[in-house]
Chains A and B, each alone.
Chain A
Amino acid sequence: MNALKRLILDASYHLNTSDSYQKKKRFFYNLLENDKYRYKKYFDLVMITLIFISVAILIRGVKYEMSDSLIFFNSYVISIFFLIEYLLRLWLTSSITDTVIKRDEYDSLLGRDIQLSKVFSQVLRDKFRYIFSLRAIIDLLAIMPFFHELRLLRIFILFRIFKLFRYAKSFQMLTSVLATKKIEFLTLLMFASVVIFVSSILIYVMEANNPVSPINTLFDSVYWSVVTISTVGYGDVVPATSEGRFVAMAVIIAGIAVLAFTTSIVVSAFTEKLDEIKENKAIEDASKLKEFYLICGYEDVARLVALKLIKDKNRVIVIDEDYERVEKAKQDGLIALCYNPGSISSYEKLHINLASQVKVVLCLREDDVENVYTALTVRSLCKEVHILSLLMNDINRKKMIFTGINEIVYPQELIGMITREFVGQTVAFEAIHALRSDQTNFNIEEIAITDWILNNFTLVEQLDTKRYRVVLLGIYKKEKSRFFFNPLDSTVLERGDYFLVIGLGVFIKEFERYLQKKSSE
């Protein structure tokens, strides 16, 4: 016995500390349960496809002879897939090694040997709790067609349809929404049951002895009652006596009430949950985005920045703690979430990875205190992410720099600088302004020099800018962090550098295409 205990304990500690075992377990957990795991959707898709194939085979098998290979595929291959999935879920539902280790620690504390019987009963309790859950029962029934020789068991294929609930999130959402009205549905069910019960007995009493009436048994009367209260009314079973028709009228009225009540419960459940559903959807969308700009605070400047970024085909997420501002952002067609951008828990709830997903965090509240608070929160979560902030009062500039904000925009200073240039060089200013503004077709663009471009061009002289009616203002050399204005023909192009090109938008696009295509031509 001691040897068995030792063996179980050694095996448990070994597995619990084994990296490869834990890695495998984590992988299967992610694949089966973690919605944020990138490969889960593919797994779900495979399972959904198998379910539909299985049902299609069942339908075809009703009228046509099936080939042996198809029957084999349906009965064994698909079932084995489901069986493996069921066993994996059973394995993942609770950790046996954890149970053993916890029990050992507990017993050690009390100065006695591990009690294996308690361990086994705990493990069995955990596993049976899963086995008897509705989802697990459906999973198990879906495997039953494995025993295809028993013709009756083929009908269990239909349970595979119920498995769809596991993979399609919208089904889960539907059940969760309806579950919020459990009491109302229960009341309705009670009411409908009482009406069905009373009316069935009444109609049976009044019609069963009438030779003309189609209602002869208690089953007929219950059938008639259910068909009538549901307002379906097939018309195959109808009361023949005046008393029976009187009962029918009462059941019809009760049926309308049941139907109206059901509709209103469903509608109100969805209305109440609508905001939550939308928010969850927005959070899910946000966590899936690969690269986006995060705008904290949605006021006038933020609004225009967001709309401009969207117009340029960028992805933007707005977070603001003010409900009305968030609603405004939503009306502007943006993904907006009502969370406090200055709170760490907001970023945790949103599952946003600041380092890998966010291109720039824009603190655009027209309030320096809020912007500093948000920037500090972001900086405490991520050291690398680029932060740009609006500064409303120059006296707070130092605080913003201290917070770790990378770029500060002070509107008053901008206006001062703009006016200086306005009064000096009007035409020149307008020319530069036109380049920066999106209100003209005349643009300045940055074109990154890639390996592909370098295959085609190595020197500035090879660029045919005049043909494409664009002006090469210069080259930004990334390594030297220096801008070379109007570079010489002999300037060597290097990977990672940028061309700064001026021209009409369409011509710049043509020029860019020419840079990319030349070698293939």
Chain B
Amino acid sequence: MKETTALIFGFNKYAIEIANNVVSKYNDVKIFSLNQEDVHNKDYDITYFDLSEDWNELEAEFDLVESLAFCVLEDDAQNIFLTISLRSNFKDLTLITIAKDMESVNKLNMAGANKVIPLVETTAEIITNMIEKPIATKVLHSILYEESDLKIAQIKVENATFFHGQFPVDIEWSRYKGIIVLSIMHENMSSDFIYSSKAKHHEIKDGDIFVVVGYEADIVEFEKLIGSRCNVSWNNWGR
């Protein structure tokens, strides 16, 4: 039986960190390395690959629609080549890649990556936030990485009648069932801050997704009233 797998291309510190962080979310984590010697690593299950692969074995072994691939080769040119190679073979595979700079980000997006993480940009952004907004950074960090009781969740609206045709602007979200609604994602996959002018004129409908912050019990209560938690595939979101 095919399983959901995290496929990590490249064996380096990024690959190890990613593997450690996603291992709980996937049935299997598979690492591919360009270096044949890495295959003998005892801590990780590593397979050798080269950039001229035709990926037939990959297709036979994994469910590539449900799996997710990380391209974390340290050389941006190789990473771009790998991304093109995977995208040209697997239209539905979700591809997340890293890039050293913004120039490579654009190229990787053109190469078909669903999400590109610019390393330098992201690190600099986090450092700046840490020193300029230390409290906000700490709070958001604890919410996002579940280091406190506060959680962030995506709730799909399945019972829009509950809102009686109200618009998001009509509701005082900060006083709503103990939770705070940050943004709303519409059926067309565009996401808006709850008080943005676009969201203001959008009647709440079934299928909308709310991004909410709150304590687990309050989120569960809210969920019961309007719908259920959901995941959004990168295939629909990032590109």
User: By the criterion CB–CB under 8 Å, are A473 and B124 in contact?
Assistant: no
With A427-B209, A486-B179 as known contacts, state yes or no: A476 contacts B139, CB within 8 Å: yes
**Which stretch from A79-87, A158-166, A417-425 is at the chain B interface?**
A417-425
Question: Which of A393, A470, A500 has most chain B Cβ within 10 Å?
Answer: A500
User: By the criterion CB–CB under 8 Å, are A423 and B123 in contact?
Assistant: no
Please name 15 further chain A to chain B contacts, defined as beta carbons within 8 Å, in addition to the given A359-B131, A489-B175, A500-B136, sorted by A numbering.
A388-B131, A393-B13, A409-B126, A412-B13, A416-B16, A418-B117, A425-B153, A432-B144, A435-B182, A446-B135, A466-B172, A469-B169, A469-B195, A485-B214, A486-B179
Which bracket fits the contact residues of A? 35 or more
Question: Which of A360, A428, A469, A471 has most chain B Cβ within 10 Å?
Answer: A428
Give residues in B with beta carbon < 8 Å to A: 6, 13-14, 16-18, 20-22, 25-26, 68, 70, 96, 98, 100-101, 115, 117, 119-133, 135-140, 143-145, 148, 150, 152-154, 169, 172-175, 178-180, 182-183, 185, 191, 193-196, 209, 211, 213-215, 231-234, 237-238
User: By the criterion CB–CB under 8 Å, are A301 and B123 in contact?
Assistant: yes
A430 sits at the interface (CB 8 A): yes
Question: In the complex, what residue of chain A is closest to B120 when comparing beta carbons?
Answer: A300
Query: In the complex, what residues of A have CB within 8 A of residue B138's CB?
Result: 483
User: By the criterion CB–CB under 8 Å, are A309 and B21 in contact?
Assistant: no
Query: In the complex, what residues of B have CB within 8 A of residue A431's CB?
Result: 152, 182-183, 191, 211
With A428-B154, A430-B191, A442-B193 as known contacts, state yes or no: A415 contacts B18, CB within 8 Å: yes
A475 CB to nearest B CB, Å: 10
Complex CA gap A412/B20 in Å reads 11
Question: In the complex, what residue of chain B is closest to A409 when comparing beta carbons?
Answer: B127
A316 CB to nearest B CB, Å: 11
With A418-B117, A485-B213, A507-B195 as known contacts, state yes or no: A362 contacts B123, CB within 8 Å: no
With A418-B117, A471-B194, A486-B174 as known contacts, state yes or no: A445 contacts B133, CB within 8 Å: yes
Shortest beta-carbon contacts, A-B, top 8? A416-B17, A304-B124, A420-B21, A469-B195, A416-B21, A412-B13, A431-B211, A308-B128
A-B contact pairs, 11 of them (CB 8 A): A417-B21, A421-B145, A428-B154, A430-B237, A432-B143, A444-B136, A446-B135, A469-B169, A485-B180, A500-B136, A502-B193
User: By the criterion CB–CB under 8 Å, are A423 and B22 in contact?
Assistant: yes
Query: In the complex, what residues of A have CB within 8 A of residue B6's CB?
Result: 423
With A426-B234, A430-B191 as known contacts, state yes or no: A309 contacts B132, CB within 8 Å: yes
User: By the criterion CB–CB under 8 Å, are B213 and A308 in contact?
Assistant: no
A107 CB to nearest B CB, Å: 61
User: By the criterion CB–CB under 8 Å, are B17 and A413 in contact?
Assistant: yes
User: By the criterion CB–CB under 8 Å, are A428 and B25 in contact?
Assistant: no
User: By the criterion CB–CB under 8 Å, are A486 and B21 in contact?
Assistant: no
Complex CA gap A435/B234 in Å reads 20
B159 CB to nearest A CB, Å: 19
B51 CB to nearest A CB, Å: 22
Complex CA gap A359/B178 in Å reads 37
